[in-house]
Amino acid sequence: MAVTSTKPYVGVPRDVVANFHGKQIVYVNWEQHLLFATPFMLVVEPGMRFADLLANVVKPLMQADPDAGAVDLTQVEWRKGKSAWQPDFAATLAENGIVHKEQLHFTTPGLNTLLAAA
Amino acid sequence: MDMKTAKKKLGLKEKYRLLTRDLGWEPTYQNKDEIYPYTKYEGIKIHDWDKWEDPFRLTMDSYWKYQAEKERKFYAIIDAHAQNNGHLHITDARYLSALKIFLQAISPGEYAAGKGFARMGREFPGVGTQVACQMQAIDEIRHAQTQIHALSNYNKFYNGFHGFADARDRMWYCSLPRSFFDDAMSAGPFEFMIAIGFSFEYVLTNLLFVPFMSGAAYNGDMATVTFGFSAQSDEARHMTLGLECIKFMLEQDPANLPIVQNWIDKWFWRGFRLLGVVGTMMDYMLPKRVMSWREAFEIYGIENGGALFKDLARYGIRPPKGWDDAGKALDHMSHQFMLALYQYNFGTTFHSWIPSEDDMAWLSKKYPTTFDKYYRPRWEHLKKLKEAGTPFHNMGLAKLCQTCQIPTVFTEPDDPTRLTQREVDYQGEKYHFCSEGCQHIFENEPEKYVEAWLPMPQLFQEPINGDLAAWMEWVSLVPGKDNGDFDGSEDQKNFDAWRDLAKSNQ
C-alpha cells in the first residue's frame, strides 16, 4: 500500500536534483567520529573532482576533531551507500557515480581519540 | 404577572443524555457515508457507534464551569508573576532555553491538536465521540493560549521568544514536532486518534507535564508551573479518550487489530523521537534538576506504558515494535541531541552551552554507564576548543531523517560509536533515516513521506537559495542575540544585572 487515502494519490518528492540550480547534495560521514553530530550535508557541483571535494570541502570541516591531522583521505576505507567502494580521485563526482543525496562513509581504523576513554 | 412554576431540576443522567447523546439523529434525506466521508477508507470497521463509552460523561455546561474556574486561578497567578518580576525569580537564565524550545515546538503543537480534534468532532459519526473530541479541541486551543500568555512575560525581557510561530514551521529542530502533527492531521480520523490520543497524550504528555513542570517549580518558574497544572487536569481526560478509542476499535471487529497495531508501532516511535527534545531539556537545560530523563522515562514510559500494553494484551495488542530500541536509546539520546544543539547553535533561537563541571558530575551519576565513556570526552574537547578561542560551529549542516525530520544524530541501538544510517531508494530518489523505526514508517507509506519539507535541503532551494542571511531574516532570528553560546549572551548579562539590582540598593 503506497498511501492510505480516499482516492489515488501520487507523492511529489520535494528534494529532486532539479531544484538545486545545477548542484547536488552529497552526505559524507566519518565513521566513529561523533564530535560531528550527523554526516556532513554538502551542496556541491557534480562536475567537481572528487579530490577537490575532499581537499576543499570535507577536510576543512573535519578540523575540529583531534584526529583530523592524522588522516590522509586518499588512504581511508570508503563506502558508497551500503557497499565498499574505491573512488577515482581524479574523476568528478558524476564520473564516480555519486548521485544526488548519495551517502559516502569513510573509516579510519585505529583513530578514535574522543572515544579513548572507552 | 408571571406565574411561578415549579422547575424540575434535571438529574445528571438526564442532563447528560440531553446535552450529548440526544444531539445525534439519523439523517433521513442524506446518505450517512456522504455526511461522514472519512470513516471507512482506513479499513477500520465499526458496527455500532452507540457502544462507544463516554469516559467522563462531561457536559458542556459543567465543562464551562470547571474551565472558567481554572482560568480565573491561572490569570491571577500570571498577573502576580508579572507584577512581582517573576522573570527574575528563576534559578538562572539558562533555564529560559528550555522555555523557548517549549514555546516554539510544543505550544504550536497544542494548537495543531486543537484543529485536529475539531476536525475529528466533525468526522466521527458517533455522537459520544463527537462531543468528547469537541471538548478536547477547546482544551487544546486553551492550552496553546495559556502557554503563550504565560511565556509572553518572559518575552518582554529576554530574546528568542518573539518568533515562535515562525519557528514552528521554519526551524530545523521544530520540524520534528511540526511533522508529527502534520502527519497526524493528514491521516484519517482513527489514525489521528492513535497519533494524538495514544502517542501524544499517553506516551508524551505525562513526561512533558509531570517531570518537566516539576522542573519548572524547582527552577522558580511559577508561570510555567501554573499552565502545567491547568493543562494537566485536562490531560487525564485526553488520555482516557485515546485509550477508549483504541478499545472501541478493538472491540468492534477483530479485523481492526492489525491496523491498530501498525499505528501503535508507528506512533510510539514518532512519539519517542519527539521526546528527544524533552529529554534534552530535562538533562541539560534545567539549572536545578528534579530527575534525569532516564529516570522519568522509567516511571512514565516503561512503568505506565508497560501497564498500558498489559491492559491491551487481552485484545491481542503487543508492545510496539520500537519498544526495545527505545529502551536502548535512553542512556544516549539527550546527550546526542544536546551535542547537536551546541554545534549548530548559530542556527537556533535559543542559547546552548557546554555543561559545567557540576553539570557533568550530575550527568555521570545519572548515566553511569555512558556519560563518562562516550559523552564527557566530547564535551571536554569542545571546552578546549572554546578556551582556545576557536569554539566549534559545525558548518557541514545536518543530514535529516525523511520521516521524523530531525538531524540523524542517533546511534545504533547496540553500538553507541556508530550513527544509525539507513537509506532507501524509492522511484529513483534516495531517502535517509535516523532509525529502523523511521525507515519502516516510510516504507509503509512512501508516497506520503517523499513530500516531506526538510529544512536543510530546502535552505538551498527557492526562495532562499543557500543565502544564510536571508534565512536568518525569514526565521525571525537575530544572529548573535537570539542564538549562540549562553556565556556572554544578552540574556545572561541582563538576568545577572537585574538580579543584582533586585537585591541591592545601588
Predicted complex: ipTM over 0.95: yes
- Nearest 5°: phi and psi at B176? -65, -60
Kindly tell me if the per-residue pLDDT of B43 is higher than 70.
Answer: yes
Residue showing cell 508524551: B204
Which residues 53-92 of chain A have a CB within 8 Å of chain B? 61, 64, 66, 81-82
With CB atoms and an 8 Å threshold, state whether B381 touches A118: no
Distance from CA of A19 to the nearest CA of B (A): 6
Q: Which residue of A has its CA nearest to B370?
A: A118
* Furthest CA-CA distance within chain A: 57
- What CA–CA distance (Å, rounded) separates B119 from B128? 15
Confidence of residue B267 (pLDDT cuts 50, 70, 90): very high
Contacts of B31 (CB under 8 A, 6+ apart): none
Contacts of B453 (CB under 8 A, 6+ apart): A14, B175
Check CB contact of B249 with chain A, cutoff 8 Å. no
Q: Would strands B429-433 and A77-80 be described as parallel, antiparallel, or unpaired?
A: unpaired
- What CA–CA distance (Å, rounded) separates B28 from A41? 59
Contacts of A104 (CB under 8 A, 6+ apart): A26, A27, A28, A29, A78, A79, A80, A85, A98
In tens, the pLDDT along A45-65 reads 999 999 999 999 999 999 999
- What CA–CA distance (Å, rounded) separates B201 from B239? 5
In tens, the pLDDT along B61-96 reads 888 898 999 999 999 999 999 999 999 999 999 999
| Helical ranges in chain A per DSSP H | 50-52, 59-62
Kindly tell me if the per-residue pLDDT of B53 is higher than 80.
Answer: no
Residues of B in contact with A31 (CB under 8 A): 418
- What CA–CA distance (Å, rounded) separates B293 from B98? 14
pLDDT at B326: 94
Check CB contact of B370 with chain A, cutoff 8 Å. no
- What CA–CA distance (Å, rounded) separates B383 from B485? 12
B394 vs A3, A5, A36: nearest CB = A36
- What CA–CA distance (Å, rounded) separates B176 from B379? 25
Kindly tell me if the per-residue pLDDT of B467 is higher than 90.
Answer: yes
pLDDT at B303: 85
Check CB contact of B423 with chain A, cutoff 8 Å. yes
A19 vs B385, B444, B461: nearest CB = B461
Kindly tell me if the per-residue pLDDT of B145 is higher than 90.
Answer: yes
Check CB contact of A5 with chain B, cutoff 8 Å. yes
In order of B15, B22, B63, B257, the CA distances from B9 in angstroms are: 9, 18, 18, 44
With CB atoms and an 8 Å threshold, state whether A31 touches B418: yes
Specify the range with the lowest mean pLDDT, choosing from B200-209, B372-381, B432-441, B488-497. Answer: B200-209
User: What is the end-to-end Cα distance of chain A in Å, rounded?
Assistant: 45
Residue B436, classified by CB atoms within 10 Å of its CB into exposed (0-12), middle (13-18) or buried (19+), is middle
pLDDT at A118: 45
3-state SS, B304-353, equals HHHHHHHHHHHHCCCCCCCHHHHHHHCCCHHHHHHHHHHHCHHHCCCCEC
